[in-house]
Amino acid sequence: MSFNYGLRPIVLQKITMGGSAASTASSAFGAGTEYVRVAASTDFHIVFGASPTATADHIFIPADQPEIFKVSPGEKVAALGGNNEVISIVEMSA
């Protein structure tokens, strides 16, 4: 699958998820961040906010299916998924 949105990568964050009972949050997005691309090799759930905690009721992302979201600087993303699985978060600008 190919994505070509003309967005500029700024920062790459990787967070290690703590399993189905532990939400893990990213660092706050930088001042120039307008979008984030999230992906992982396992199914996971995410939520965005100033101090987010992901649950199974939040946005579901299937394994190997990257998604791009509009965000605001200073927000974070929290992920809930496989134990010791890594989620890739690419901060981007237009």
Residue 2: CB partners within 8 Å, gap ≥ 6? none
Q: How many domains, in total, are found in the chain? A: 1
The token pair that represents 51 in the structure block: 């101090």
Is the confidence at residue 1, as pLDDT, over 90?
Answer: no
Q: What is the pTM of this model?
A: 0.91
Residue 3 lies in a domain: no
Residue 34's domain comprises 8-93
pLDDT in tens, 31-67: 999 999 999 999 999 999 999 999 999 999 999 999 9
Instruction: Decide if 73 is inside a domain.
Output: yes
Q: Do 9 and 88 form a contact (C-beta atoms < 8 A)?
A: no
